[in-house]
Structures are given as C-alpha cells and as structure tokens.
Amino acid sequence: MTKDETRNIVDSLHPLEVRLLLAFEAGKAIDDSLLISRASVEQAQKDMAIGWLLAKAIVEVTGETVERIVALTEIGERYRDQKTPELRIYQAIKDNPGVNMSGIREREDLDSTEISAAIGALKDKGIVRIAQGGRLEITDESPLSEFEDIQILISAVATLGEVNLSELSQGEQVIIEGLHRKRGKAKGVFRINEKVSRTYTLADLGAKVHAEVLQRGKPVDEISQLTPEMLKDGSWEGKPFRKYNITLPPPRVTPGRRHPYKEFLDSVKDKLVAMGFEEMRGGLVENEFWNMDALYMPQFHPARDIHDVYYVKGPKSAREIEEPFLANVSKAHYSGGDTGSRGWQYRFDVDKAKRLMLRSQGTAVSARTLANNPKVPGKYFSIARCFRYEQIDATHAQDFFQIEGIVLGEEINFRTLLGLLELFALEVAKAKEIEFLPAYFPFTEPSVELHVRHPKLGWMELGGAGIFRPEVTIPLGVHVPVIAWGLGLDRMAMVALDIHDIRDLFSANLDMIRTKRTHWL
C-alpha cells in the first residue's frame, strides 16, 4: 500500500466513516456503544458506516458479546404510572375494610385476570386472606416489601430507558427474570432484548488510513450532492466536494433494447436491402393454392398432408381463387398447359386448392409476388413467419421465420444463381469457402444447396435455391427466368446467441433476453 493509495482511500471515505475512524485510538479496541458516543452518531449511522469500513478491511472485529438489555413493556409502563396490581389491591383492601373481589373490580381499573392473579400472589405470601363471604382481609404486612421492591425496580428501569441486565444486582436480576415476557406469554412487565455488541480494532490497512485521517483532522463541511439551491445561492463556493469511490459497482439499470434475435433479423434485412432486395409481405393464413399448387407441388405430394401442415378449422376454405391463375395452374398440373411440360397428369381438385392453412413456407409469399406484376429485373425478399406440423423440441418450434426471396431477370441462369449464392455466403455468413450441392425442391430446376465453411460452425448448409420451373412462372404470367432462394440462418443466430434450443429464440425469460449480448457485425 503506497502513500498515494492510502490517500485515495481516505479521499473517498464517507464523512460518517471519517467520524467513526476519529473515535478509534491506534492499537486499542473500541466497542459499539463507545463508538456511538465518541463519534456522536446515531445507532443506524454507526451500523451503516462500520459496515463499509469492515468491507474495505479498514477495521476488523476483535470480539463479540451478547448483552441482555432490559426495558419496560407496555404493561410495565402502565404499572410504573399506576403501580402494580398487588400494591393497588393491597391499598384498596386497606382503604375499604371488608371489601370483596367484586368491590375491588368496581374500584380499580384492572381486568379480572389481573385481579385474581394479584390476589392469588398476595394470598401466597400470606399478606391477604379470603374470609367468610369473600371478604378480603390483610393478615400480615411485612412480606409486602417484596412487591414494593418490584415497584422500585420498574421505576428505575423506566428512568434509564434501557439497562444492561448484567449491571443490576443479583436480586434485581431474579425479579426481572421472573417478570419478563416469556415466549408465548402475552403479559410481562419487563422485556429482555439480546443485543450483540462487537469490539473493533484498526486492521493493518486501517492503521495507515487512521493515521492519515488523524493528520487531516476533523472533516470540514464537504458537499455530497450538488443541489439546485447550492447553485442558486452559491453556497458550494469554497467547499470541497466529497470524493467518491468510483470503483464501486453502480446500481443496475435496464435500458430499452432491441430483442437480440430481432437484432439479428434486422441485420439480415439491412444486408438484403443493401443488395437491392425489396421487401414483400404476405398473410399468416394461406390457401393451398398459393402455398403449394402455384409452386407446382402436386396435390398428392407427400408434404401436403395433415401430418405436415396445419389446416384452419373454420371456415375451411377460401371463397375463390384468383383467375386466370387458377385456370393456368390447374392446366399446368394436368397437362403442362403452355409451359412446355407434360405436367403431373392428374385431375386438379379445386376444393383442395381452396383449403385454408397456416402458411408453411415463405415461398408462398414469392408465388403471390410473381402473380402481382413483379418488376423485371427485380429482387425481392421476405422474412415470413411459417408453421409446420411438427413435434416441438429443441430443433423445432411451432412457428419460425423463413428468409426467402426471388430474383427475376433475363440474365438469370445456373451460373448467376451460383453467383447470387456466393454473394450471400460472403455477405451473410462471411464465408469465403463454399460448395454447391445438387438438391431437390418441387418448384425449382435446377436446384442447389449452398454449403459454407462458417468460421465457428465448420461446414454447414446456409441455404437452398434454384430456378423456378416454367410450370411455376408461366402460369403466374412471368416469362423471364426467376431464382428462388431461401436462407437457413437460425443455426447461425443460435450460435451467436449461445443458445442450444431453437425455442429460446422466442424465449419468455426476460432476464435471458435482457442479458444476451450480440455481435452480428
């Protein structure tokens, strides 16, 4: 501990700490009550400041004693003013010879249990007896001094407020022990509180701090909180500001903040917009037509089953499907229509196409965009909430975001498809090593899977893409090639957020949401 460090500590002491330290003498112990009286502080102030000094290892506890402190209870205070029932009853019998129990009750403001207890006590000591007809008679006055001693003790304790039990005489201690409120007993004259009294000495560090404090002498009037009044009347001038210990932890605040996963989605959104993609939106509820048929998924496709998607309970069907798309798409399924395809060659069921469902893939949004006069050339994306009929577990949530989009243009072909994916790999996953794998999607041909070497995850699938089949684009009125792409980014988000259960992306745990730190950039 250098001199400077000691000074820094002293500089940051609270005025109460300084007052306590000034009450210490080097090398000597001091106890709580002495500390309070020497430093002339309140008990609570002493408690607070000694706590700080102990925490900073400036003082240490050298001893601990338990004191039993005696005070009056409410009953005790009443007896102090009105005397004990025994003395009052004795006096009443003396003043009204021949009085009986009910006579006492009429005269004295005491409840009947008190009266009978007191008469019982007087009788036991042989001071009073109950004669014929319930009349009370004084038989012997001499044992009464015992009750007078109690009365004196009550007055003494009342005067002192609190008395250390050990400071009283043996006889007094016996009286108090006999009359204090015991656990479970409602009434008692004295209350005994146990109080821990500690003794302290200066610790090693404290000795240096103490010397410095002594050297500086009594603290002058330091400014703690600067107030508007001080600024107004200039009273701050010439006074020192108490130095704070700025190394102490501050109170906790909870700032307003984006959701960490939303922050990630925002960054993806920003990147896509920067790459020239325009946002498209769609509804949470779709019909099978836009979710599947328009994407050339045949109506008997294995993924079009009650075990794959969620259907809507009621109404079950869309009123209508927009023309000419219904006619075009059903023809494409049946015979290829004018798409150059032989089609799936089955009878298209319009009722099935109308069936309402919860959107199961973001491509549904793309299909609607294609049918709605898209720009050519054009680039679109959506971050769409989708629903699948799946057992919910650590890798499946009941709903999730799909990041999907399309690119329309005369220049679109297999190589520009690969070029776009390369761009995604670099921009979204910062991956320079990539691999393209053959893939299958019902609505694209050729189809490709994009694998990248992620800096943390190693080789992973980043997305899937392909060129929409003519059976998709032509019936929707689009006559240029169209890339359909989708990115699977949840795994990247989970790694960045250090979570292992996909359900935690939508966690309800506020503490987790508030404390997650992100590093997307």
Partner 1 sequence: MPTISIKKKDLESLIGSSFSPQDIEQHLQLVKGELKGYDLKSDELKVELSDSNRPDLWCCEGIARQIRGKLRGEWGDYPFFGSNNSKKSGQIIVSADMREIRPYVGGFTATGMNVDDEMLVQMIQTQEKISEIFGSKRRRISIGIYDLSRIRFPVHYKTVPPEAISFTPLGFEEKMNLREIIKDHPKGQVYGEILKGMERYPILVDSRGDVLSFPPIINSREVGEVQAGDSALFVEVTGLDIRLVLLALNILAVNLHDRGARIGAVEAVYPYDTGFGRAISIPCEFTKPLNLSLRDVERVMGERLSMDAVSGLLGDYGYRVKKQGESLEVTPPPYRDDMMHPIDVCEDIAISRGYNSFKPVMPSQMTVGGLSDIELFADLIRGHMIGSGFQEIISNILTSKEDILYKMGLGEEKAIEVDNIMSISYSVLRHWIIPSLMRVEAASTESFYPHKTFETGEVAVYDEAGNLSSRTLMKCAALISHPAANFSEAHAILEALMYYLQIECRLVPGDHRSLIDGRMGWVYAGDEVVGLIGEMHPRVLTGWDIHMPCSAFEIELDKLLRIYKVATS
- Binding to partner 1 (CB under 8 A) within 492-521 occurs at 505-506, 508-511, 513-514
Out of 56, 269, 453, 491, the only residue in the binding site for partner 1 (CB under 8 A) is 269
460 phi, psi to nearest 5 deg: -150, 155
278 to 335, 375, 380, 498, 520: CA distances (angstroms): 34, 10, 5, 31, 22
Please report how close the Cβ of residue 19 comes to partner 1 at its closest, in angstroms.
34
Pick the stretch among 71-79, 174-182, 212-220, 429-437 that binds partner 1 (CB under 8 A).
429-437
User: Are residues 282 and 382 in contact, defined by beta-carbon separation less than 8 angstroms?
Assistant: yes
3-state SS of 129-181 is: EECHHHCEEECCCHHHHHHHHHHHHHHHHHHHCCEEHHHCCHHHHHHHHHHEC
The interface region with partner 1, picked from 49-57, 101-109, 194-202, 388-396 by CB under 8 A, is 388-396
Assess 407 for contact with partner 1 (CB under 8 A).
Answer: yes
Residues 311-330 that bind partner 1 (CB under 8 A): 311-316, 318-320
418 binds partner 1 (CB under 8 A): yes
Stretch that binds partner 1, among 100-108, 144-152, 165-173, 375-383 (CB under 8 A): 375-383
Whether the Cβ atoms of residue 384 and residue 365 lie closer than 8 Å to each other: yes
Cβ pair 425, 452 in contact under 8 A: yes
User: Binding residue for partner 1 (CB under 8 A) from 215, 274, 456, 498?
Assistant: 274
The verdict on 448 binding partner 1 (CB under 8 A) reads yes
Q: What is the identity of the amino acid at 262?
A: K
- If the CB atoms of residues 420 and 496 are measured against partner 1, the closer one turns out to be 420
Under rule CB under 8 A, residue 342 binds partner 1: yes
Q: How far apart are the first and last CA of the chain?
A: 43
Q: Which residues of 251-280 are buried (b: 16+ CB within 10 A; e: fewer)?
A: eeeeeeeebbbebbbeebbeebeeeebeeb
Q: Which is nearer to partner 1, 172 or 449 (CB)?
A: 449
432 binds partner 1 (CB under 8 A): no
Give the C-alpha distances (Å, rounded to integers) separating 311 from 86, 355, 364, 385. Answer: 88, 8, 15, 16
Q: Which of 121, 138, 439, 460 binds partner 1 (CB under 8 A)?
A: 439
**Secondary structure of residue 237 in the 3-state scheme:** coil
Q: Which is nearer to partner 1, 172 or 490 (CB)?
A: 490
Binding flag, residue 363, partner 1 (CB under 8 A): no
Q: Is 409 in the site for partner 1 (CB under 8 A)?
A: yes
Give the residue, chosen from 281, 430, 479, 500, that forms a contact with partner 1 under the rule CB under 8 A: 281
Task: Please tell me the total number of residues recorded for the chain in this structure.
Answer: 521
Stretch that binds partner 1, among 9-17, 61-69, 222-230, 270-278 (CB under 8 A): 270-278
- Asked if 275 interacts with partner 1 (CB under 8 A), we say yes
One of 438, 456, 458, 519 touching partner 1 (CB under 8 A): 438
Total Cβ atoms within 10 A of residue 6:
16
Do 192 and 163 meet the contact criterion of CB atoms below 8 Å apart? no
For residue 44, the minimal CB distance to partner 1 (Å) is: 24
State yes or no: residue 458 binds partner 1 (CB under 8 A): no
Positions in 109-128 near partner 1 (CB under 8 A): none
Closest CA to 477 of 299, 382, 338: 338
